Chains A and B, each alone.
Chain A
Amino acid sequence: QVQLVQSGAEVKKPGASVKVSCKASGYTFTAYFIHWVRQAPGQGPEWMGWISPKSGNTNYAENLQGRVTMTRDTSISTVHVELTSLKSGDTAIYYCVRGLPLSFPVWSWFDPWGQGTSVTVSS
């Protein structure tokens, strides 16, 4: 079955960076868009950006431009998101989610979701 398995929880200090990984299985890794979504405590989800695992092309949310980088390693079917200059407002659960196949518009529903990675930013 299609599965996205993420790396473990992280605790970081303000100003530091964090890198979260997401390993895909159960489908052709390079055939589907992957998006990252985060959810701060008690808030609705927030879309962060997408990556094409085939080409490495990316598109990021405007409010994260300059601080976020999404990459992929096709040899191990894994995507990564790195966020720099962390602040307390970046404390959230980070999810990788699968979109539609690359031949479809990038904007679609998200299914499935990874189990989530908790990132806590605290001094």
Chain B
Amino acid sequence: DGGITQSPKYLFRKEGQNVTLSCEQNLNHDAMYWYRQDPGQGLRLIYYSQIVNDFQKGDIAEGYSVSREKKESFPLTVTSAQKNPTAFYLCASRRDNSPLHFGNGTRLTVT
């Protein structure tokens, strides 16, 4: 089955450590997205990528970094510079103007 895989589902880190969240898709989609969701809140755009080796900042990019070396993969690194990293992180992809397909998310807890 085609889809988007986010791993791990739960992730725990100590404050001050960088952590990388994985997002892989086998839908042959060009565009990929990372969103952050805090409890009871909507989705906020962190980064997005239209094609390989290109990505753009979203509304809350500070403290995050991404790479897009392969079409299928769009990993997100939460750096120690991110002041409040504990959140639910969602990855999505789409082709052209089709609707977004979302993964099941990674819940990151930093203590």
To the question of whether A and B form a pair in one complex, the answer is no
Question: A-contacting residues of B (Cβ < 8 Å)?
Answer: none
State the A residues within 8 Å of B (CB).
Answer: none
